Structure 1
Amino acid sequence: MIELVFLSAGVLLLLSTQFRNQIMAIFKRFSFASSSPVEEKAKSSPVSEAKNGKGYMGNDTIQEPTPLMITPEEVAMYDDRPWRPFRWPYHQTMSIFKLDINHWLDMDKYYQHYIDEKKRIRLKFGKQNFDCLPEGKDACVELMEMVVDHMVKRYPLLFVVLKNGDWATEGKIVRNEVTKEILDMTLPLKQDPLVFISKLAKEDFYIVKKNEKDGLHYLVAAAVPFPGGSFGIDQKIGRNLDVIHTDVPYYETKLKRSMERWFEKMRPEDPVERASWYITWDTMLKVNNIYQRPEFKPNLEADMKGTDLREFNVRVERQTLRRLPRSNAIIFTNHPVFYSIDEMKDEPMVPSLIKKILYEGPEDILKYKNFAFVRDHLSPYLDSLIQRQKDLGIITDETPLKTQPSYPFAYWVKDDTSKNDFQGWNNPSPSYSKAHMKTAGFDTAKLAPNE
């Protein structure tokens, strides 16, 4: 069956868009169940229990992704789901949703930039961002197999299998049609599994395993080029989650017990996702300006105040959690996505929610996310956007300020349910251009030494 899927993908490259859609309608009808964007946060398909054995189990273990037939050319204009994780009252919880497996490893127009940055950071900083302990090697191999199998099934026109050998005995060779790189994963592996993973997916990966002696979960491997803050993986690897989360507000009082219960019960067929956010005025991935230290950016406040208010972004950390069926390791992914405040200005209540949280959120969270550093500078701009929404009739003085019904996504996601999946999600704001690349002006010459 897999061989037929790959053959069909190669043929579809040559077909017109209209005919491709007709073929895919038939393909989906007889092969995979599809889901709409609105359903993704509340729906998950039943799958069988995990089985023991060699190699990644595929159909017998987890929900299969629906093929998304976008071409490398279409990726350059493809927008991912628009996250809006703003809620009020604002408090610290896990805030998890069922994960539609189609969105485990998403594709968007920033893909090439993220892959290029991963390579630069891996070669420059090494174990500060990429590392694996001996007890994590089996999980890294299993994760590599899972990532490869997911990408070639979800994006058949972007990742083409040149050699489809068995994982346990031969390995595979895959060509990345976006980067044009051939990834030879035949056995014995010629590179670390984390390197192959970093050449396929734009997400960061944390690999956690339970130590049966003390019952705690430890970080045993990580490929994390984009932590956003100033910490490195070398400070976290080999430590348990309690130590890693020491600085996280309310971890001990509110999150720890919930996380422990969740990890104990989590099954391979129960992946989840969540998102957190903070504000910055740049789109740098390894260390955002908001978390820079004086020795690297001594004039940080002046730089911040000299930045056009329309350039400020909400950096959303989109995260997923799932368990590997063979090694029993838990995989935590993180993917930073930038949304300018300007592109969200016509979305009901967004400027109001952001300002409310910046000033009235729990003090420990405000400090942890460094909101106090930017809020006074942003406040007049947010006030102008709030007044604009009132002038346009989007909100009134009587409109209750609360989490929006579409949380954690933009309100207009529901409007795209009838559109073809490969077109991506279309922001209706006149301030938004689908072709605009926030990272187009990225200049490595301006990076601080720790970036």
Structure 2
Amino acid sequence: MLDLLSFTSFSICLCLVLYLAQNQIRALSKVLFAKKEVVSDKERKLSSSNPKPSSLYGNSNGTIPKPTPLMINPDEVKNYDDRPWRPFRWPYHQTMSIFKLDINHWLDMDKYYQHYIDEKERIRLKYGEENFGMLPEGYDACVELMETVVDHMVERYPLLFTILKDGDWQTAGKVLKNEVTGEVLDMTRPLKDDPLVYVSKLAKEDFYVVLKNPQDGLHYMVAGAVPFPGGSFFIKDKLGNHIDTIHRDVPYYEKSLKKSMERWFGRMRPEDPVERASWYITWDAKLKVSNIYQTEKFFPNMEKDLEETDPRQFNVRVERQTLRRLPKTGAIIFTNHPIYYSIEEMKDEPMIPSILKKIIHEGPEDILKYKNFEMVRDKLSPYLDELIQRQKDLGLITDETPLKTQPNYPFAHWVKDNINVSENEGWNNPGTGYDKKHMKTEGFDASKLAGNE
């Protein structure tokens, strides 16, 4: 079974970002560990023809983006959907697309917010250091992450998060009420809990924290709040490891990514956040460990369970990811947020069943093995064939329709036609038929939950 699914996508993400940025010259930064000041390298101009004012991390205009308020209240959140990702491409290869992140969507909101927050708390209390951890040298970075998350949520969702005590972060701290969960979070100084605990009570994303070690100039993972890794990834086994060690099993890492990763980390600027999405197929909607990445120890009847599952229960687990640098500590923050979309609900979206079938049969061999596509493709292929024929019968595609990435990639084709679309407000999924109740934990047969879930 595979171990570093989220970090696989993380590596691919970084490789492409470096490719896109290879013609820009930026200064490297030095980041000292906890309790030490951040020191910048000699700053350079991006280009002689278009110089920009300097900043701490490379050349910069010094403008870190801030979100635009989205005025939705707690009742409206219950019916609100995040952007409908469809990150399916053909040809399918290792350098998957990455996009500049609109900061409004760094920490998105949707109708499953309460469910994710509840699951985070349950997993943290039940599994502890398997999914949550922080080294002493990562404390300052985690505090800055906590402050950044709080500021973002209050600015982006002013009706969902209320400041009850607005003290200075450096001396007094703040008290905040989460209007969706009803919980009051006391972040006055000194902190009464680890900063990652507060982060996990506010945002539904997983968080990885990476810092440069001033002794060797290399980057190490120093903290993580990762309740939803999907596979058998344990934070306690990765803390303190260099990124090369963390990515040991990642396809193409040694060949294509290793040399460029450290360079990219050094050049990344706080005002240049990015996002992307990866995906795989499974037949459940478990957040901590998907069925397809279970081990024989915990799921001895997996093949039988797979065989007995109706193909209409299969779904795509999209790992929506972002990457940004914090300005004070220089910590690099990687977020990951799993979202489930059933194949059944995408059946009438032009070319989607065709692309899925093409990928699981003809994608790169290493990726087919890493994402366990080989395990599910025999089960899924007849079902996908039915959906492909359905699209032909409906006139959505023909035998001559080119099989290729769809124009609205990486989102669903109907986004451009949605009357609720706004540049700053994301998308609401159309119609009552777009319902993902199957995702909720309480809808599952508890007897099928493995010991490690």
TM-score (norm 1): 0.84
Aligned partner of 2:428 in structure 1 is 425
The aligned counterpart of 1:138 is 140
Q: Secondary structure at the match of 2:439?
A: coil
Q: State the one-letter code of the partner of 1:395.
A: I
Give the alignment partner of residue 401 of structure 1, picking from 400, 403, 408: 403
Query: Quick check: 1:50–1:61 contact (8 Å CA) kept in 2?
Result: no
Shift of 1:261: 3.2
Counterpart check, 1:438 vs 2:439: yes
1:307-346 correspondence runs (5 A) = 307-346=309-348
- TM-superposed deviation, 1:255: 2.5
Distance (whole Å) between structure 2 residues aligned to residue 443 and residue 137 of structure 1: 39
Give the C-alpha shift of residue 422 in structure 1. Answer: 5.9
Residues 82 and 409, structure 1, Cα contact 8 Å, conserved in 2: yes
| Residue 157 of structure 1: aligned partner | 159
From 341, 348, 351, give the equivalent of 1:349.
Answer: 351
RMSD: 2.0
Q: Is residue 219–residue 242 contact of structure 2 (8 Å, CA) maintained in 1?
A: yes
Aligned CA distance change for structure 1 residues 224 and 172 (closer, same or farther; 3 Å): same
Q: 2:221 aligns with which of 209, 219, 222?
A: 219
Cα shift readout 1:217-253 (whole Å, capped 9, x = no counterpart): 1100000000000121111111111111111111111
> How far, CA to CA, are the matches of 1:219 and 1:225 in structure 2?
16
Q: Give the letter for the 2:428 counterpart.
A: W
The range that moved more, 161-170 or 437-446, is: 437-446
Aligned positions, number: 397
For residues 53 and 190 of structure 2, the distance between their equivalents in structure 1, rounded to whole angstroms, comes to 31
* Displacement of 1:254: 1.9
Equivalent-residue separation in structure 1 for 2:100 and 2:80 (angstroms): 24
Note the C-alpha offset of 1:438.
2.3
Deviation at 1:263, TM superposition (A): 1.6
For 1:115, the equivalent position in structure 2 comes to 117
**Aligned mates of 1:90, 1:331 — CA distance in 2:** 27
Q: Which amino acid aligns with 2:178?
A: N
Tell me how far apart the structure 2 counterparts of residues 124 and 220 of structure 1 sit (CA, whole Å): 22
Instruction: Look up the match of 1:84.
Output: 86
Please list, as runs of the form range in 1=range in 2, the aligned pairs for 1:17-32 lying within 5 A after superposition. none
Task: Note the alpha carbon deviations across 1:41-81, whole angstroms, 9 max, x for none.
Answer: xxxxxx986569xxxxxx97521101011111111111100
- Quote the Cα distance in structure 1 between the aligned partners of 2:413 and 2:260: 29
Q: Quickly say closer, same or farther: Cα 1:176–1:340, change in 2 above 3 A.
A: same
Give 1:270 deviation, angstroms.
0.2
User: Is residue 208 of structure 2 the alignment partner of residue 192 of structure 1?
Assistant: no
User: Distance between the aligned counterparts of 1:212 and 1:353, measured in 2?
Assistant: 46
Read off the aligned partner of 2:372 and give its amino acid letter. N
Amino acid at match of 1:426: N
- Listed one character per residue, the Cα deviations across residues 334-391 of structure 1 (whole Å, up to 9, x for unaligned) are 0000000011111111101111000000111000001111100000000000111111
Shift of residue 410 of structure 1? 1.0
* Cα distance in structure 1, aligned partners of 2:439 and 2:231: 20
CA contact (8 A) 1:49 1:61 kept: no
Q: Does the aligned pair in 2 maintain the 1:129–1:233 contact within 8 Å?
A: yes
Amino acid of the structure 2 residue aligned with 1:135: E
Q: How does 1:149-298 map to 2 (within 5 A)?
A: 149-298=151-300
Q: Counterpart of 2:319 in 1: which secondary structure?
A: strand
- CA distance in structure 1 between the partners assigned to 2:108 and 2:141 by the alignment: 21
Between the aligned partners of 1:49 and 1:423, the Cα distance in structure 2 is: 33
What code does the residue aligned with 2:269 have?
A: R
Provide the identity percentage. 72
Quote the residue 2:38 is aligned against: none
Query: What SS does the corresponding residue of 1:172 show, helix, strand or coil?
Result: strand
Residue 305 (structure 1) shift? 1.3
Partners of 2:253 and 2:119 in 1: how far apart? 31
Deviations 1:374-433 (A, max 9, x none): 1000000000001111111111111111111111111111123654666842246x8x33
Q: Is the 8 A contact 1:144 1:193 kept in 2?
A: yes
Q: Tell me, what secondary structure is at the counterpart of 1:199?
A: helix
Cα offset for 1:154? Answer: 0.4
Distance in 2 between the 1:185 and 1:49 partners?
33
Whole-angstrom CA distance in 1 between matches of 2:66 and 2:295:
44
Q: Distance in 1 between matches of 2:411 and 2:70?
A: 21
Rounded Cα–Cα distance in structure 2 between residues aligned with 1:197 and 1:388:
45
CA distance in 2, matches of 1:380, 1:121: 37
State the one-letter code of the partner of 2:385. D
- Is the CA contact 2:222–2:240 (under 8 Å) kept in the aligned structure 1? yes
Higher mean C-alpha deviation, range 212-221 or range 236-245: 212-221
User: Does the 8 Å contact 1:159/1:176 carry over to 2?
Assistant: yes
* Deviations 1:260-312, CA, capped at 9 Å, x for gaps: 33222110000000111000100001100001111111110111111111111
Shift of 1:153: 0.6
Query: 2:129 matched to 1:127?
Result: yes
CA–CA separation in structure 2 for the residues paired with 1:363 and 1:226:
26
Alignment CA distance shift 1:301-1:427 (3 Å): farther
1:363 paired with 2:327, answer: no
Sort the Cα spacing of 1:278 and 1:48 in 2 relative to 1 into closer, same or farther, 3 A.
Answer: farther
Change (3 A) 1:86 1:185: same
Q: What secondary structure does 1:378 align onto?
A: helix
- Does the CA contact (< 8 Å) of 2:84 and 2:429 recur in 1? no
Deviation (angstroms), 1:435: 7.1
SS of the aligned residue for 2:306 comes to helix
1:304 is matched with 306
Q: 1:95 Cα deviation (Å)? A: 2.5
Preserved CA contact (<8 Å) 1:77 1:434? no
**What is the DSSP-based 3-state SS (H/G/I as helix, E as strand, rest coil) of the residue aligned with 1:320?**
strand
- Alpha-carbon contact 1:279-1:314 (below 8 Å) kept: yes
CA contact (8 A) 1:86 1:408 kept: yes
